[in-house]
Amino acid sequence: MSAPSRPWLRLYRTARWQRLRERQLTAHPLCAYCMQQEDVTAATICDHIVAHKGDEDLFWDADNLQSLCKPCHDRIKQREELGQSVVRFGPDGWPVI
């Protein structure tokens, strides 16, 4: 998709988003996906749990945010959003739901 078809991209450049992102990463500095596997990894991405797809209420909802590391965001989360089946495993070897 090109930028003109995603006008909500501008929201990521606002001071309000930067503050919300910083608050999320400060409150939850570790990757949520890695923690499910008992792997301690610093989070660098403030991710929307439910994709907002331009819905500003979802975009600004602090309860719709999670902290992820870049590898989890770019691999696992992106595949989930594309509707692909992703099986993550916990430290005990059982799938994480």
Print the domain residue range for 26: 3-89
pTM of the model: 0.83
pLDDT in the model for residue 72: 95
Burial class (CB in 10 A: 0-12, 13-18, 19+), 34: buried
Question: Is the pLDDT higher at 1 or at 18?
Answer: 18
Domain membership of residue 28 (yes or no) is yes
Domain membership of residue 96 (yes or no) is no
For the chain, the domain total comes to: 1
Domain membership of residue 63 (yes or no) is yes
pLDDT in the model for residue 96: 77
Domain membership of residue 29 (yes or no) is yes
Token readout for 82 is 């594309």
80 neighbors 86 (Cβ within 8 angstroms): yes
Domain membership of residue 70 (yes or no) is yes
